[in-house]
Structure 1
Amino acid sequence: MDQMLALRVFVRIAESGGFGKAADTLNIPRPTVTKLIQDLETHLRVKLFQRSTRKVTVTDEGQAYYHRALKVLADVDEMDTLFADSRGTPRGRLRVDIGSSLANLILLPHLPLFRQRYPEIQLELGVSDREVDLIGEGVDCVIRGGELTDTSLIARRVASLDWGTYAGTGYMRSRKLPQHPEELYGEHDLVGYFSSRTGRVFTMFFERGDEKIQIDPKGTRGVSVNESTAHLTSLVSGLGVGQTFAFMARSGLANGDLVQLFPEWSRPLHPLHIVFAKSQHDSARMRAFVDWALEIFRPYDRLHA
Structure 2
Amino acid sequence: MDHLQAMRLYTRIVELGSFSRASEQLDLPRASATQIIKQLEAHLGTRLLLRTTRQVRPTLDGDAYYQRCVSILADIDDMEASFSQAARDPRGRLKVDMSGSLCRLLLMPALPEFCARYPLIGLEISVSDRQIDLVREGVDCVLRIGELRDSALVARPLGRLEQLSCASADYLARHGTPHTLDDLDAHRMVDYLSASSGKSIPLEFTDAAAIVTRSLPSTVAVNNGDAYVAACEAGFGIVQMPRYHVTRQLTAGTLVEVLPDHRPPSLPLTVLYPQNRHLSPRVRVFIEWLQDLFSRQG
Match of 2:286 among 277, 285, 289: 289
Deviation at 1:164, TM superposition (A): 0.5
Preserved contact between residue 160 and residue 272 of structure 1 (Cα < 8 Å)? yes
User: Mean Cα displacement is larger for which, 6-15 or 289-298?
Assistant: 6-15
In structure 2, the CA distance between the partners of 1:160 and 1:43, relative to structure 1 (3 Å rule), is: same
Structure 1 Cα separation of the partners of residues 116 and 209 of structure 2: 49
Deviation at 1:170, TM superposition (A): 2.5
In structure 2, the CA distance between the partners of 1:6 and 1:228, relative to structure 1 (3 Å rule), is: farther
Preserved contact between residue 160 and residue 300 of structure 1 (Cα < 8 Å)? no
User: Mean Cα displacement is larger for which, 139-148 or 95-104?
Assistant: 139-148
Preserved contact between residue 240 and residue 264 of structure 2 (Cα < 8 Å)? no
In structure 2, the CA distance between the partners of 1:226 and 1:19, relative to structure 1 (3 Å rule), is: farther
Question: Residue in 2 aligned with 1:273?
Answer: 270
Instruction: Find the residue that maps to 2:41 and give its secondary structure.
Output: helix
In structure 2, the CA distance between the partners of 1:222 and 1:84, relative to structure 1 (3 Å rule), is: farther
Q: What percent identity do the matched residue pairs reach?
A: 37
Instruction: Find the residue that maps to 2:134 and give its secondary structure.
Output: coil
Preserved contact between residue 134 and residue 141 of structure 1 (Cα < 8 Å)? yes
Preserved contact between residue 87 and residue 281 of structure 2 (Cα < 8 Å)? no
Question: Residue in 1 aligned with 2:141?
Answer: 141
| TM-score, L = length of structure 1 | 0.86
Which structure 1 segments of 5+ residues have no match?
none
Deviation at 1:27, TM superposition (A): 7.0
Q: How does 1:104-143 map to 2 (within 5 A)?
A: 104-143=104-143
Structure 2 Cα separation of the partners of residues 135 and 87 of structure 1: 23
Q: Deviations over 1:254-284 (max 9, x none)?
A: 1111101111102222111111122445421
Q: How does 1:17-32 map to 2 (within 5 A)?
A: 17-19=17-19, 22=22
Structure 2 Cα separation of the partners of residues 240 and 26 of structure 1: 51
Structure 2 Cα separation of the partners of residues 24 and 199 of structure 1: 35
| TM-score, L = length of structure 2 | 0.88
Deviation at 1:249, TM superposition (A): 1.8
Preserved contact between residue 81 and residue 282 of structure 1 (Cα < 8 Å)? no
Structure 1 Cα separation of the partners of residues 246 and 83 of structure 2: 45
Question: Residue in 1 aligned with 2:246?
Answer: 249
Structure 1 Cα separation of the partners of residues 261 and 129 of structure 2: 29
Structure 1 Cα separation of the partners of residues 41 and 241 of structure 2: 53
Question: Residue in 2 aligned with 1:231?
Answer: 228
Instruction: Find the residue that maps to 1:290 and give its secondary structure.
Output: helix
Question: Residue in 2 aligned with 1:76?
Answer: 76
In structure 2, the CA distance between the partners of 1:34 and 1:256, relative to structure 1 (3 Å rule), is: farther
Query: Is 2:198 aligned against 1:199?
Result: yes
Letter in 1 for 2:229: L
Instruction: Find the residue that maps to 1:221 and give its secondary structure.
Output: coil
Instruction: Find the residue that maps to 1:198 and give its secondary structure.
Output: coil
Structure 2 Cα separation of the partners of residues 253 and 288 of structure 1: 34
Question: Residue in 2 aligned with 1:178?
Answer: 178
Query: Is 2:9 aligned against 1:9?
Result: yes
Preserved contact between residue 158 and residue 274 of structure 1 (Cα < 8 Å)? yes
Preserved contact between residue 247 and residue 300 of structure 1 (Cα < 8 Å)? no
Pairs aligned (count): 298
In structure 2, the CA distance between the partners of 1:151 and 1:189, relative to structure 1 (3 Å rule), is: closer
Preserved contact between residue 8 and residue 73 of structure 1 (Cα < 8 Å)? yes
Structure 1 Cα separation of the partners of residues 150 and 11 of structure 2: 19
Q: Deviations over 1:214-257 (max 9, x none)?
A: 1235xx22222222222222222323211001122221111111
Which structure 2 segments of 5+ residues have no match?
none
Deviation at 1:36, TM superposition (A): 4.3
Structure 2 Cα separation of the partners of residues 229 and 28 of structure 1: 42
Deviation at 1:140, TM superposition (A): 1.0
Q: Deviations over 1:156-193 (max 9, x none)?
A: 110111210011222222221122334434x4331122
Preserved contact between residue 97 and residue 127 of structure 1 (Cα < 8 Å)? yes
Letter in 1 for 2:148: L
Preserved contact between residue 158 and residue 293 of structure 1 (Cα < 8 Å)? yes
Question: Residue in 2 aligned with 1:95?
Answer: 95
Structure 2 Cα separation of the partners of residues 247 and 188 of structure 1: 24
Query: Is 2:251 aligned against 1:260?
Result: no
Question: Residue in 2 aligned with 1:60?
Answer: 60
Instruction: Find the residue that maps to 2:126 and give its secondary structure.
Output: strand
Preserved contact between residue 170 and residue 235 of structure 2 (Cα < 8 Å)? yes
Question: Residue in 1 aligned with 2:155?
Answer: 155
Preserved contact between residue 280 and residue 286 of structure 1 (Cα < 8 Å)? no
Instruction: Find the residue that maps to 1:9 and give its secondary structure.
Output: helix
